[in-house]
Amino acid sequence: MARRDARERLDELRRNPQQCEVPGCYAYRQKWGRYCEHHDRVNERTGHPEGHTIRKGQLRPYAARATEFIQEQHQHRGVQAALEWIEELLANAEDPGELHRSSLPSQRVGKWFHKMHLAGITAEEVLSTVVGLYLLRELDPRQFKSDRHFQHMLAIRVLRLVPAPFIQAWCNGEGRRLYHRIGVKMREHLADRLNAALGLLALRMAREIKKRMEEEQRQEWLDRLDGVADPFMKPDRDMVYHASPTGSEDKEGFELEHGDF
């Protein structure tokens, strides 16, 4: 019954196709989804139909500022607790071996973290990546179309600290070694864990770094323009403004009259 209902619904959508939900897109939806094929692929890849992937090079300067801050605050109890949590996550990661369709997201993430551990990725690098992405959102929130887009990018950038591990898969009746793709459920699973454990600390750190960057920029402007920080003079209270008797119709004239000293 359910299969027949699905077939009937597909036939109805083919006869009366609906427009993609993305504003400004006039393409028809694919099957019974909400988006056209293009926006559905983008949504699958980034977590938002109009999202884009945050590349490693784009994140690098923000992660570098985060690294400097972490090293400066290495005695902070929150920073120490975060690094210990990440170290434990890396050390306890296990390779589940061959993956299949029914493999859990936690098993798939574990395979990536096991490779990160073998590759020598440190807890500081992971935390710098997390804080760097939070900092990017604080400084340029338009980079992220939604919270879901941000969470997907958070998971991708952490896992992409190492190249994708290989997995065994069947293609056209024969076994092949393929790069392990970071699926939607993997991203959501890892993002939930990272935000639950590190989200509040990462947000506080990002806002403190942003505050310092703004102060540095302000100081740079002060150094560039001599006297820019000098207080402005107060208006002379003995100076009286009144309308000029010689003002024309299209221009109001005002004269400045000094009071008696």
**Statement: residue 257 has pLDDT above 60:** no
Q: Mean pLDDT over residues 114-128, rounded?
A: 95
| pLDDT band of 256, cuts 50, 70, 90 | very low
In a domain, 229, yes or no: no
Where is average pLDDT lowest: 20-34, 151-165, 166-180? 166-180
Together in a domain, 33 and 97: no
Q: How many CB atoms lie within 10 A of CB 110?
A: 18
Look over the chain and give the mean of its residue pLDDT values, rounded to a whole number.
84
In a domain, 179, yes or no: yes
- Find the angle CA(99)-CA(105)-CA(110) to the nearest 5 degrees: 70
Together in a domain, 152 and 176: yes
Together in a domain, 70 and 160: yes
The total of structural domains in the chain comes to 2
Question: Cβ distance 210 to 134 under 8 Å?
Answer: no
Asked which of 195, 213, 231 is the last residue of a domain, the reply is: 213
Together in a domain, 59 and 41: no
In a domain, 157, yes or no: yes
In a domain, 33, yes or no: yes
Q: Mean pLDDT over residues 196-206, rounded?
A: 97
**Statement: residue 1 has pLDDT above 60:** no
Together in a domain, 165 and 139: yes
In a domain, 221, yes or no: no
167 phi/psi in degrees, rounded to 5: -135, 155
Q: Mean pLDDT over residues 100-105, rounded?
A: 83
Reported pTM: 0.78
Please give the structure tokens belonging to residue 216: 């540095």
Q: Measured in whole angstroms, how far is the alpha carbon of residue 223 from the centre of its chain?
A: 33
Query: Exposure pattern of 116-152 as b/e (b: 16+ CB <10 Å)?
Result: bbeeebebbbbbbbbbbbbbbbbeeeebbeeebbbbb
Instruction: Output the pLDDT for position 64.
Output: 97
More confident residue, 155 or 31: 155
**pLDDT > 90 in the chain, percent:** 56
Q: Mean pLDDT over residues 168-181, rounded?
A: 65
Together in a domain, 22 and 124: no
In a domain, 234, yes or no: no
**Statement: residue 155 has pLDDT above 60:** yes
In a domain, 35, yes or no: yes
Together in a domain, 96 and 152: yes
Structural domain boundaries, residue 175 = 54-213
Question: Cβ distance 54 to 157 under 8 Å?
Answer: yes
Question: HEC states along the chain?
Answer: CHHHHHHHHHHHHHHCCCECCCCCCCCECCCCCCCCHHHHHHHHHHCCCCCCCCCHHHHHHHHHHHHHHHHHCCCCHHHHHHHHHHHHHHHCCCCCCCCCCCCCHHHHHHHHHHHHHHCCCCHHHHHHHHHHHHHHHHHCHHHCCCHHHHHHHHHHHHHCCCCCCEEEEEECCEEEEEECCCCHHHHHHHHHHHHHHHHHHHHHHHHHHHHHHHHHHHHHHHHHCCCCCCCCCCCCCCEEEEECCCCCCCCCCEEEEECCC
Together in a domain, 42 and 163: no
Beta partners for residue 174, in sequence order: 171
Tell me the CA end-to-end span of the chain in Å, nearest whole number.
Answer: 99
- To the nearest 10 degrees (0 to 180), the angle between helices 184-224 and 77-91 is 150
Instruction: Output the pLDDT for position 254.
Output: 46
Q: Mean pLDDT over residues 105-109, rounded?
A: 91
Residues 204-225 pLDDT 10s: 999 999 999 999 988 888 878 7
Together in a domain, 180 and 198: yes
Together in a domain, 75 and 29: no
Question: Cβ distance 151 to 47 under 8 Å?
Answer: yes
Q: Mean pLDDT over residues 199-207, rounded?
A: 97
- Alpha-carbon distance of 179 to 189, in angstroms, equals 20
In a domain, 40, yes or no: yes
Residues 43-85 pLDDT 10s: 999 999 999 999 999 999 999 999 999 999 999 999 999 999 9
Together in a domain, 80 and 144: yes
Instruction: Output the pLDDT for position 166.
Output: 65
Residues 9-24 pLDDT 10s: 666 666 677 888 899 9
**Statement: residue 104 has pLDDT above 70:** yes
Together in a domain, 34 and 58: no
Instruction: Output the pLDDT for position 175.
Output: 63
Q: Mean pLDDT over residues 190-199, rounded?
A: 96
